[in-house]
Amino acid sequence: MNDRITAAPAPGTAADPGAGSGAGGATLQQAHVDSNFADLTLGAISDAVLITDIHGLITYCNPAGCALLDRGPGEILGWPVTELVMLMTAELDPQPHPVPAVLRTGRPTRLPAGTILVRPDGVEFAIEDSTSPIVDQQGTLLGAVMVFHDVTTTRQTMLKMTHQATHDFLTDLPNRALLDSRLAHELDLAARHAAGLAVLYVDLDNFKHVNDSLGHRAGDRLLRSVAGRLCQCVRKSDTVSRFGGDEFVLLLTTEGNAAHAAAAIAGKILTTLAEPHQVDGQALHTGASIGISIFPDDGIEGETLVRNADTALYLAKSGGKNAFRFFEPHMNADAVQRQQLQDGLRVALAGGQLALHYQPKFDLRSGRLTGSEALVRWHHPQLGNVSPARFIAIAEDFGMIGALGRWVRDTACRQMVAWEQGGAAPSQVAVNVSAQELHGAGFEDGLRQTLYETGIAPERLQLEITEGVLLRETDAALAKLRRVRDMGVSLAIDDFGTGYSSLSYLRRLPVDIIKIDQSFIHDIGQDQAGGVIVRAVIGIGQSLGRRIVAEGVEDSSQLDFLREQDCDEGQGYWFSAALPPKEFASRYCQGLAV
């Protein structure tokens, strides 16, 4: 062996034969000196090799070992291996050393994965090792040999890969896979210690609108901001995960009542998320809806708890958004029906089950028919007639609203053209456009296609857009509406009065018609305020050059009042409910010249 690795052991150490380390130490050192071939071999390999005597004092270190420990042999030999090579777990807790164990048992051993070696100068690196006993031909234990190498880079790569596989790339939150495994672990603990556990399913309200109107980069930034705020709302021991899109699932563990804790956190989340988010220099507003399930009442398995929280979320959303709801068992029946409707709607869209009915609108001064509103109807083969309010929400939630809206528009326009070709048609047909449909990227092109393919004159088509939708419009969306109007199609603001538009805002909206919401018409004659609002809307709307339509006219006193206020048009059961096309034509198109 060369001088570097056979330097004399520290005086007084067991490796010094004079120190009375016994025959084992002397024999071992002699073996080193004699073994030139072994010396060359050990000097050539990249693994660190440390040999100790029977007392665990280092008697040999190869060059790779010296390099890893950043010491010359003189600073290594004679040291207790447990002091020079301190070992920790991956969590930096003390790790039992393998050399004393081998010297005690005489059996080889390996360190657990993730073991960290801490040098006396404080430098740490991850190692993999194997430690074996050294025995002579008589079977006497002479010492131990520890072979190890630095796996920091490999470990970092592995940790990075594990992180990527278990975290969301955009927000760096745990992903669904990690949530599932944490949920399984926490459920196990909760079951054994009767602890509380809640799952909160959070979904942003109108996130798609941000993406569609401001672009995906802004959407991504908003999601990161939301992720940060969600983490601020919970303890470090809780899990905030992103399930994809704008859906986040939180796992809360509590010692007390889980429902109370979940309600408090849900309230905090709604308040925190409602604060404006600074994205690209502008303040973005977003709300959220939250569904909550509680262990064990709402499920004892992770999958069930998440599914039930999702069901409760759906009801929080359909109940008006920006709210939280706890899961209730009856919701499952609703969820089953929703699934049935969702599946059924796909079939219905493919053909046969959908129909349009037409409700007439009349000029209140002349009594003449001014047009009709097309309202979609669905006869489900098992469930019978399904309310459009219900299935339109489902179409919106499950990405079918574009196709449904397109079907309604195409069918209404074709019907108008058919009536025209028959020689008698109302002057206009109105179709409802849902928020999501309007915000969809293909809306304008789809509309152009409808006009082109059906051959309807654009001025014969009217789009009804609810006030709530228009209120949330950005400049880009308003520009979209102006382009629609430039095609020659007229626009009506539907359900006016329910969205609290300011009158100055009304002036900005590119609409031709204001339809007063039926709730205000219903209030006419019932209380003072109802009539006052209707009168104000008619006066101000007309002064802004808009035509006013009263929706939901049900009796003659309402009609008289509307006429007194010089309202332009009326629609409602007093005149007629929506009718199938044939009935509509035979009642209202006779005598109408195109």
Residues binding ligand LFPHGCPZ (CB under 6 A):
359, 375-376, 387-389, 392, 408, 431-432, 434, 464, 494-495, 518, 551-552, 554, 572-573, 578
Nearer to ligand LFPHGCPZ, 53 or 494 (CB): 494
Nearer to ligand LFPHGCPZ, 12 or 399 (CB): 399
Taking the complex as a whole, the smallest distance from the CB of residue 563 to ligand LFPHGCPZ amounts, in Å, to: 17
Tell me the residue nearest to ligand LFPHGCPZ as measured from the CB.
572
- The torsion defined by the Cα of 562, 566, 568 and 574, in degrees rounded to 10, comes to 20
- CB–CB of 414/454 below 8 Å? yes
Q: Of the two residues 145 and 392, which places its CB atom closer to ligand LFPHGCPZ in the complex?
A: 392
Dihedral over Cα of 487, 489, 491, 494: its sign: negative
DSSP 100-163: HHHHHH---B-PPTT-EEE-TTS-EEEEEEEEEEEE-TT--EEEEEEEEEE-HHHHHHHHHHHH
Of 150 and 495, nearer to ligand LFPHGCPZ (C-beta) is 495
Nearer to ligand LFPHGCPZ (CB atom), residue 108 or residue 468: 468
Distance between the two ends of the chain, CA-based, in angstroms? 111
Mapping DSSP to helix (H, G, I), strand (E, B) and coil, where does residue 475 land? helix
Residue 580 CB, shortest distance to ligand LFPHGCPZ, in Å, is 13
Kindly state the smallest distance separating residue 391's Cβ from ligand LFPHGCPZ, in Å: 9
- Least CB distance from residue 303 to ligand LFPHGCPZ, whole Å? 34
Q: Judged by CB, which is closer to ligand LFPHGCPZ: 125, or 575?
A: 575
Q: From CA 112, how far away is CA 154, in angstroms rounded?
A: 15
- Residue 292: Cβ-neighbour burial (10 angstroms; 0-12, 13-18, 19+): buried
Taking the complex as a whole, how short is the minimal distance between the CB of residue 386 and ligand LFPHGCPZ, in angstroms?
A: 10
Closer residue to ligand LFPHGCPZ (CB): 277 or 439? 439
Least separation in angstroms between CB 376 and ligand LFPHGCPZ: 4
Minimum distance, C-beta of residue 206 to ligand LFPHGCPZ, in the bound complex (Å) = 16
Helix (H), strand (E) counts: the chain: 23, 22
Please state the closest distance from residue 346 (CB atom) to ligand LFPHGCPZ, in A.
17
Q: Which is nearer to ligand LFPHGCPZ, 137 or 385 (CB)?
A: 385
Q: Cβ of residue 329: shortest distance to ligand LFPHGCPZ, in angstroms? A: 29
520 alpha carbon, distance to own chain's centre:
38
Residue type, 129: D
Judged by CB, which is closer to ligand LFPHGCPZ: 410, or 420? 410
Residues of 435-448 as b/e, b for ≥16 C-beta within 10 angstroms?
bbbbbbeebeebbe
What token pair was written down for 349?
């869209």
3-state secondary structure of 360: strand
Cα–Cα distances in Å, from 85 out to 51, 52, 102, 209? Answer: 12, 12, 15, 59
Q: What is residue 371's DSSP assignment?
A: E
